Amino acid sequence: MITPEIAPANFIRNIIENDLATNKWGGRVVTRFPPEPNGYLHIGHAKSICLNFGLAQEFKGSCHLRFDDTNPTKEETEYVESIEADVRWLGFDWGEDLFYASDYFQALYDHAVALIKQGKAYVDDQSAEAIRATRGTLTEPGKDSPWRSRTVEENLDIFTRMAAGEFEDGSRVLRAKIDMAHPNLHMRDPTLFRIRKVSHHRTGGKWCVYPMYDYTHCISDSIEGITHSICTLEFEDNRILYDWFLDELALYHPQQIEFARLNLEYVVVSKRKLLTLVKEGHVGGWDDPRMPTLSGLRRRGFTPESIRLFCERIGVGRKESWIGMDVLEKAVRDDLNPKAPRVMGVLDPLKVVIDNYPEGQVEELEAPYFPDDPPRMGSRKVPFSRELYIEREDFLESPPKKFWRLAPGREVRLRWAYFVTCTGLVKNDQGEVIEVHCAYDPATKGGDSPDGRSPKGTIHWVSAPQSLTAEVRLYDRLFAVPRPDSEERDFRDLLNPDALKIIPHAALEPSLAGARAGERFQFERKGYFFADPQDSAPGKPVFNRIVTLRDSWAKIVEAQKKGR
Ligand code: ATP
Ligand code: MG
């Protein structure tokens, strides 16, 4: 976890501290995370979850999980279940505090009746289009509805009949009676209830009028005794309405506080767009490892700790900003660096024959799982033999300057094994190198030379006869451009065609046959990898690349300089 001294500022933390000092809420801190169950959670939601649950933890309060399920046409139980699983996976617990806005339908109805009785709400028979058309603009006032002056009795009668199912969908709505000339458009007689004769995933056919978001949200917060109702900046203009409803109804009144949403480059964080990608088959599903959903990140191999670290690092402010994908990638590297054992795997194998190594001989060499701290975490044996695989990119027939890996006449260190010198190569008819020949120096066993010489290059390798052949999936950023939302072209045309590359036959060190589904490793010089929890079988892991390593090469060279 992040240490307090590097935790960035969070202005909401300051507000809460201040409220505790002035005893504004009687010492209580109650937040909530209120997702609409109409899709899977994404990395943007993680920011809100970490903020709300994190503050509750920090101040020994509570955070409610509340499903904002007021729109029966788009919501499904599948989404409810995935949201619960994702919040738990992130490491948070709502305890007893699981709520549904649909549990408040009766209360919301009763409060609407109270508003009608106060002359603060009326039934409007205009169509949705007519209501929209008479709302006015930022520079022009709206127009009063012809139904605005209905009597309380008439409003009560029609609203009751609306709820009893007497009228068609869209034929009438209940509106608050505020001010059609209000400078804030949200205050121009907003809709409270509309008719929708559809079954709801929790209340079934009980209701045929459903409450609108703004009206539902503040009353739900009030009923649950929330203290700090934290939402994204888009709702800043709605706050006036939040306050109006609670004041007019004289209800317990939480404080709404807005913060800047997460905008992350190279992905989209909109459930609607992510749903489009899933429905149209651009990705394999909500949990496709390319997706910025929590289920996608989990399937790819991200840890919950890495996502919490990311959320802590980006901080919480009131200014819209964009976060680079490198921040998320750095967080997962920083989290996995001390946790993931180092192993060797060759993704693009090129055969190497050690001509002076005895045919049929196999040596078991000791290789630490954590070279930076070998005694702590143990080691495994890696077999070495006459035929090896190295990474194709680690050999060049005519190397440019500063290429320190294998080349004709060049000596390199094979990690944990021996120094080898390239003595020849074999090409196919197309002129491609298909085999490299080397001579090894038996005096350099373990990767050190008694005469003190040290090749500049160290490369990873796998013994060919014992290697484990495995499928490895290389994942990269979902979109080819940083801000697919703000381009003129349709976001679907901006998907990164290279976001998934499947390597059917990578050559991995044999110890990986024992990798369990869900285990993470660092393949030296290649990145962090995750044994896919669904597609891996005992003895036959399938690996997802979580993230590449930056500076891996530089690090190994540095470690070697220090004598390892
Ligand atoms: P989307 O735009 O993806 O549909 P949403 O805001 O409609 O998201 P909700 O289910 O209403 O989705 O979101 C639940 C909570 O998550 C809300 O409090 C919302 O403010 C917060 N949230 C959603 N997206 C982000 C984001 N990108 N950054 C921070 N918080 C977010
Ligand atoms: Mg929303």
Q: Whose CA is nearest to atom 4 of ligand 1?
A: 271
For residue 412, is pLDDT > 80? yes
Ligand nearest to the CA of 292: 1
Task: Give 544 Cα–ligand 2 centroid separation in angstroms.
Answer: 32
% of the chain exceeding 90 in pLDDT: 92
Q: Is the CB of 35 under 6 A from ligand 1?
A: yes
Dihedral sign of CA atoms 51, 54, 60, 61 in order: positive
Q: Is the CB of 47 under 6 A from ligand 1?
A: yes
Q: Is the CB of 541 under 6 A from ligand 1?
A: no
- Give the strand pairing for 468-475 and 461-463: unpaired
Same fold, 4-261 and 342-466: no
CA 332/CA 50 separation, integer angstroms: 16
Ligand nearest to the CA of 53: 1
- Please enumerate in sequence order all residues whose Cβ is within 8 A of that of 221, keeping only pairs 6 or more positions apart, or say none: 32, 229, 254
Instruction: Decide if 359 is catalytic.
Output: no
Average of pLDDT values for 250-274? Answer: 97
Burial (Cβ within 10 Å: 0-12, 13-18, ≥19) of residue 5:
exposed
Task: Give 556 Cα–ligand 1 centroid separation in angstroms.
Answer: 42
Instruction: Decide if 271 is catalytic.
Output: yes
Domain boundaries, the chain: 4-261, 271-336+470-563, 342-466
Confidence of residue 557 (pLDDT cuts 50, 70, 90): low
CA 340/CA 192 separation, integer angstroms: 53
CA 182/CA 351 separation, integer angstroms: 76
Q: Where does 4-261 sit in CATH, by number?
A: 3.40.50.620
Q: Is the CB of 485 under 6 A from ligand 1?
A: no
Would you state the pLDDT for residue 4?
A: 44
- Please enumerate in sequence order all residues whose Cβ is within 8 A of that of 525, keeping only pairs 6 or more positions apart, or say none: 391, 459, 460, 549, 552, 553, 556
Tens-place pLDDT, residues 469-500: 999 999 999 999 999 998 899 999 999 999 99
3-class SS at 146?
coil
Task: Give 232 Cα–ligand 2 centroid separation in angstroms.
Answer: 9
Which residues pair with residue 303 across a beta bridge?
Answer: none
Tens-place pLDDT, residues 322-360: 999 999 999 999 999 999 999 999 999 999 999 999 999
For residue 9, is pLDDT > 90? no
Taking alpha carbons only, the member of 50, 55, 32 closest to residue 86 is 50
Tens-place pLDDT, residues 213-233: 999 999 999 999 999 999 999
Rounded to two decimals, the pTM is 0.93
Tens-place pLDDT, residues 433-481: 999 999 999 999 999 999 999 999 999 999 999 999 999 999 999 999 9
Q: Which of 100, 232, 258 to mutate to test the pocket of ligand 1 (most atoms within 8 A of CB)?
A: 232
Q: Is the CB of 48 under 6 A from ligand 1?
A: yes
CA 556/CA 456 separation, integer angstroms: 10
Would you state the pLDDT for residue 561?
A: 60
Tens-place pLDDT, residues 501-533: 999 999 999 999 999 999 999 999 999 999 999
Q: Whose CA is nearest to atom 6 of ligand 1?
A: 35
The backbone torsions φ and ψ at residue 343, rounded to the nearest 5 degrees and listed phi first, read: -140, 175
Q: Which of 48, 277, 485 to mutate to test the pocket of ligand 1 (most atoms within 8 A of CB)?
A: 48
Average pLDDT, the chain: 95
Ligand 1 atom with the shortest distance to the CA of 269: 3
Would you state the pLDDT for residue 372?
A: 85
Instruction: Decide if 36 is catalytic.
Output: yes
CA 448/CA 454 separation, integer angstroms: 8
Q: Is the CB of 74 under 6 A from ligand 1?
A: no
For residue 1, is pLDDT > 50? no
For residue 554, is pLDDT > 50? no
Average of pLDDT values for 24-40? Answer: 97
Average of pLDDT values for 124-152? Answer: 97
Q: Is the CB of 217 under 6 A from ligand 1?
A: no
CB neighbours (10 Å) of residue 264? 23
Q: Which helix (H) or strand (E) holds 336?
A: helix 325-336
Task: Give 416 Cα–ligand 2 centroid separation in angstroms.
Answer: 54
Q: Where does 271-336+470-563 sit in CATH, by number?
A: 2.40.240.10
Average of pLDDT values for 300-317? Answer: 97
CATH architecture for segment(s) 342-466: Beta Barrel (2.40)
Task: Give 36 Cα–ligand 2 centroid separation in angstroms.
Answer: 6
Q: Is the CB of 350 under 6 A from ligand 1?
A: no
Q: Is the CB of 271 under 6 A from ligand 1?
A: yes
Tens-place pLDDT, residues 38-92: 999 999 999 999 999 999 999 999 999 999 999 988 878 899 999 999 999 999 9
Tens-place pLDDT, residues 365-393: 999 999 987 667 799 999 999 999 999 99
Task: Give 66 Cα–ligand 1 centroid separation in angstroms.
Answer: 13
Q: Is the CB of 456 under 6 A from ligand 1?
A: no
Would you state the pLDDT for residue 105?
A: 98
Tokens 């590359």 belong to residue: 501
CA distances from 87 to 177, 269, 355 (A): 39, 17, 56
For residue 552, is pLDDT > 70? no
